[in-house]
Structure 1
Amino acid sequence: MLTIGAAQSIAELNPVTKANAWEQVLFSLMWDGLVKTGQDQKTIEPDLATTWTPSSDLKTWTFQLRPGVKFSNGNALNAASVVSTIKYYQDPKTTTQLKNNVAPIADVKADGDTTVVFTLSEPNALFPSSIEMVKIVDTAAMGTMESQPAVTGPFKVKEFVADDHLTLERNPGYFGTPAKLDGIKLVKAADASSAVTALQSGDLDALWSAPLSQVAAISANPNLAVIKPSVIGQYVSWEVDTTAPPFNNPVARQALAYAIDAKSILKAAYFDQGVISTTNNPLTTNNPDYGGTLTDYSYNLDKAKELFAQAGITAGATFTWWGASNQYPEWNTSAQILQASLKQIGIDLKIQNTDIASWPTKFYPAGKSFPGLIVPNFQSYTPAAPDQFLFLRTGRCECNWNNTAFDQLYTKALATADPAARKDVWGQVQAMVNKEVPIYVPLQFATVTATKRTVVGLWVDGGGNPHLESAGFAA
């Protein structure tokens, strides 16, 4: 039995309506999608589907399912299961963070027991990867979802106490390679500090989202290891209202980009657990799709002052940082560093921290006005370019940057079958984001998982989610 802890809790078991980021650890343990991303974070691999074939116009995709797969309750997983799951995701009554992923599906039909045919509203050469996170559930057994969910993955529920602990046991009916572990226990720690103490004392075998301030000390412990993704999919995203003065002017947004001391922020706020984004880009430089003609926004207060003046913003101007009280200490440290930088060029940054519970009414859904505010946030996706830039499509970003040209380029990239040509289009997407600065990406960071060195086979994906499906203990 492997015990993994987190300062968050597992509140519910439904992968469609997951309540928090920590619950995503269950995705690879209990459920399967049609496809999955390999550990290299680049390759799409078979999961419930063995093959998938597009039509010549990339608007129809046909998936062949593994025959004989069953849910843990004995019900068959077949093409009808996939169809009913997609309709469940698309149902307006279903609250899910994956609405955008299933929205392009205009129709889905079963052709026999093992063939599923998707019809899309627009061409998409990357459709299989876009539905990777869509996990197939037994919609006929929703009544037991929160106690004994029907699953297809390598583990099933043994015991669940919401907001306290979840114990999993090996699923003997799993279609793939049997899990090495006979069970996994996921427990909630009182707080991040006590979780680290539990790991150091041996009460935990692994810890998700280790505090960034503790990562260096954990790394120095010969009995512990720090696991990070090979390609990071998480990035800092500060937002301004691009439809209201002063940041409705792209020059003003560019000016602020030059005023961000990302190097100091990475060191002081994120304890050097990340990489600087000098081109204000969601993609890290080692991302396969990174590229384009990009301006370097490295910290330059003279350039910031010059561009602010061009935008009509001179000494005496005031901006407001709208942060969160008692959460995300890295945000407050970032605000103080930005405040000190802006002060040097005569601009005042007021730091206003509020209860995070007030955020939804202030900023969500997108379309609300917040002139003069700088709002810290972060995004967590797979490293794939379609996921990384999905946040900036019309109607999604609270920054109100609804850009038709961007949407058209994004759609063009999806519809481009040739990988080299598609990378060129993603380069154009990056160039547009770089020039327009709809959001600020000072750096990319990774949610860190720490383990005992005796734990082997655990890996972390680009979104910071630990994968335990192949984990075990060293002999």
Structure 2
Amino acid sequence: MKNENSGSRAVSGVSRRTLIKTGFAVGGLLALERAGWAAGTSVAPKRGGHFRAGVGGANTGDSLDPSTFTDTFIISLAFAIRDNLVAVGADNNLEAGLAESWETGKNATEWTFKIRRGVRFSNGKSLTTDDVIASIHYHRGEKSKSGAASLLERVKDISAVGDDAVKFTLKFADVDFPFVLTDYHLNILPSADGSVDWKSGAGTGPYKLESFEPGVSAKLSRSAEHWNSAVGFFDSIELIAINDAATRQNALIYGEVDAISKPDLKLISFLERNKDIQIVDVPGRIWHCGIMRTDVAPFDNNDLRLALKYSIDRDQYVKKVLKGYGTIGNDNPLGPAYRFHADDITPREYDTDKVKFHLNKAGYHKEELKLITAELFPGQNSAVELYQQEAEKAGVNIKIETRPTDGFFTDVWLKEPFQWGWWGPRITEDLMLSLTFLSTAPWNDAKFKSPRLDQLINGARAELDEAKRREMYREAQLIISNEGGHIVPANANLVQAVNKKVVVPRDESGKWKISASWEMDGGYFLKRWSFA
């Protein structure tokens, strides 16, 4: 794990510290209230200036429709112009958004959120409970294709309580339910007659949308009357789509932008030595992965999947691909940054004998396996080439097919049998597992279905006994690692590069104080950062 203050790196023997605590001490009545998203820093933020950010993960098919969001550009744009009921703070804890407080009874099956009064959308409409209910309903139902659909399957009913509160009635207990509402799909939108308006770009955020060209750029201006004075410091913002890592990096070096997402780690040393640039990284929940569709031959054979999992040198992956900015993975998404990470399970090692053993059991005879890739993260294509070389030594015949980045999520992901990619972080175990490992999840990209895993994910969500919950998540990690369709060689840190004139919050000890729930301060960087 990269130590952001000392600059030292370690690939093995990483710390297993618990970085956050996401559960609640359920008993009696819970009430949580925070005032906005302001984070402590040694340099006081000030208002003003035109901020330019070069961000990857942009597509010409991007839309303001929150049900379609998949990557950093559109997520960051949406969080600047819109708000959720609840937010993930810079300390990774819950903070108040359009819900100024929330409470539940001791069984955590009913949650009531008090809606903030006096809030207006950028089109002048006042926020009401109808807007909240319609915005959440938009992602629900059998026909929903939203990435948040599986997260909301736990919701039985949503109803207004008077004119300033909304009650969620759940099908079962969920001690982490407010975290569900932080999901980047669940922006609150203006509505009329139960239908939401996402096309206009109207929102309650600190910035107004001036223009948006999908896959190219977005321009924003600060709203003078935003409800939260603790966020939104820039006068104007230009969010520039730069999918190529080298181009992003050059744009920062030559002063064309003030911050970039995902610097090219192969060249990170050049940025580390630049006196005008600060590398901002936090232990993250990103996981790099090979995705094998378990419903399609030959990947429906678990021995073949195990052979492919033993075919990668994880230590070399962290050293060569991540340059030390990450930790070794073990074929499941819950790495050391997660509260319930099972640190007693030893990660797989590169083992050609075990590869050959499982290949023989699978009846594999060096048939060509087509692995589709794109430069979704800096160095991805090099990472796949490294994997191909290591697998070849063990007797696996992998042919790499490179596709364009633009359109990958519509043309390749969820469709092709074998591909390489990455998963963005989620702040809790349940948010991550419910999105992609439940049998019914729309984003179950490996098509892996396990009744026992479904039982564990659903059960852990409702379990109030922490020891029992930990054991359930441990078993879930074992099932995913030993039977699932993902090769997970590493959990990557969240790494950003920022001009030093930009104030990025730090805590009292000097460590970066930014969220690990997604890239670029959980997607909130446009709200929280400022110029010095």
| Shared fold (TM-score, shorter chain, > 0.5) | yes
Q: Which of 166, 170, 173 matches 1:123?
A: 173
Distance in 2, matches of 1:248 and 1:35, equals: 40
Q: 1:68 deviation in Å? A: 2.4
Q: Which consecutive residues of structure 2, in runs of 5 or more, have no partner in the other structure?
A: 1-49, 506-513
The answer on whether the counterparts of 1:294 and 1:430 sit within 8 Å (CA) in structure 2 is no
SS in 1 for 2:519: coil
What's the TM-score, normalizing by structure 2?
Answer: 0.78
The answer on whether the counterparts of 2:191 and 2:197 sit within 8 Å (CA) in structure 1 is no
Q: 1:383 deviation in Å? A: 3.4
Counterpart of 2:429 in structure 1 is 385
Counterpart of 1:463 in structure 2 is 518
User: Which residue identity lines up with residue 99 of structure 1 in the other structure?
Assistant: A
Counterpart of 1:239 in structure 2 is 291
Distance in 2, matches of 1:96 and 1:455, equals: 35
Counterpart of 2:223 in structure 1 is 171
The answer on whether the counterparts of 2:220 and 2:236 sit within 8 Å (CA) in structure 1 is yes
Distance in 1, matches of 2:412 and 2:119, equals: 46
* CA separation of 1:329 and 1:62: change in aligned 2, threshold 3 A: closer
* CA separation of 1:75 and 1:317: change in aligned 2, threshold 3 A: same
Instruction: Tell whether 2:345 aligns with 1:294.
Output: yes
Q: Which of 30, 53, 58 matches 1:4?
A: 53
Distance in 2, matches of 1:436 and 1:143, equals: 41
The answer on whether the counterparts of 1:283 and 1:290 sit within 8 Å (CA) in structure 2 is yes
Q: 1:93 deviation in Å? A: 6.8
SS in 2 for 1:388: helix
Counterpart of 2:373 in structure 1 is 324
Distance in 2, matches of 1:265 and 1:398, equals: 23
* CA separation of 1:163 and 1:307: change in aligned 2, threshold 3 A: closer
Instruction: Tell whether 2:444 aligns with 1:444.
Output: no
* CA separation of 1:282 and 1:189: change in aligned 2, threshold 3 A: closer
User: Which residue identity lines up with residue 468 of structure 1 in the other structure?
Assistant: L
Q: 1:395 deviation in Å? A: 3.8
Task: Report which stretch shifted further, 243-252 or 46-55.
Answer: 243-252
Distance in 2, matches of 1:98 and 1:90, equals: 8
The answer on whether the counterparts of 2:503 and 2:531 sit within 8 Å (CA) in structure 1 is yes
RMSD: 3.1
Matches within 5 A, 1:27-46: 27-41=78-92, 43-46=93-96
Q: Which of 66, 69, 86 matches 2:136?
A: 86
* CA separation of 1:73 and 1:328: change in aligned 2, threshold 3 A: closer
Distance in 1, matches of 2:345 and 2:298, equals: 24
The answer on whether the counterparts of 1:268 and 1:333 sit within 8 Å (CA) in structure 2 is no
Q: Which consecutive residues of structure 1, in runs of 5 or more, have no partner in the other structure?
A: none
Counterpart of 1:208 in structure 2 is 261
Partner deviation per Cα, 1:323-348 (whole Å, 9 max, x = no partner): 13676674443343333333333343
Counterpart of 1:103 in structure 2 is 153
Counterpart of 1:422 in structure 2 is 469
Distance in 1, matches of 2:296 and 2:271, equals: 45
Counterpart of 1:472 in structure 2 is 530
Q: 1:6 deviation in Å? A: 2.8
Task: Report which stretch shifted further, 29-38 or 339-348.
Answer: 339-348
Distance in 1, matches of 2:470 and 2:429, equals: 9
Counterpart of 1:285 in structure 2 is 336
Partner deviation per Cα, 1:373-432 (whole Å, 9 max, x = no partner): x42222113231112222111044232211000000000111012444323322221122
Distance in 2, matches of 1:171 and 1:91, equals: 34
- How many equivalent pairs are there? 462
Counterpart of 1:341 in structure 2 is 390
The answer on whether the counterparts of 1:110 and 1:117 sit within 8 Å (CA) in structure 2 is yes
The answer on whether the counterparts of 2:494 and 2:516 sit within 8 Å (CA) in structure 1 is no
Identity %: 23
Task: Report which stretch shifted further, 180-189 or 239-248.
Answer: 239-248
Q: 1:4 deviation in Å? A: 1.2
SS in 2 for 1:336: helix
Distance in 1, matches of 2:306 and 2:411, equals: 28
Distance in 2, matches of 1:78 and 1:198, equals: 42
Q: 1:84 deviation in Å? A: 1.4
Q: Which of 421, 439, 457 matches 1:394?
A: 439
Distance in 2, matches of 1:400 and 1:200, equals: 42
Partner deviation per Cα, 1:217-268 (whole Å, 9 max, x = no partner): 112211101222x341211121224345554444443333222112223344
Instruction: Tell whether 2:125 aligns with 1:70.
Output: no
SS in 2 for 1:135: coil
Task: Report which stretch shifted further, 23-32 or 192-201.
Answer: 192-201
What's the TM-score, normalizing by structure 1?
Answer: 0.86
User: Which residue identity lines up with residue 119 of structure 1 in the other structure?
Assistant: T
Instruction: Tell whether 2:311 aligns with 1:259.
Output: yes
Q: 1:22 deviation in Å? A: 1.0
Distance in 2, matches of 1:72 and 1:362, equals: 36
The answer on whether the counterparts of 2:264 and 2:379 sit within 8 Å (CA) in structure 1 is no
The answer on whether the counterparts of 2:373 and 2:419 sit within 8 Å (CA) in structure 1 is no
Distance in 2, matches of 1:260 and 1:174, equals: 50
Q: Which of 440, 451, 456 matches 1:409?
A: 456
Query: RCO greater where, 1 or 2, for CA within 8 Å and sep 6 or more?
Result: 2
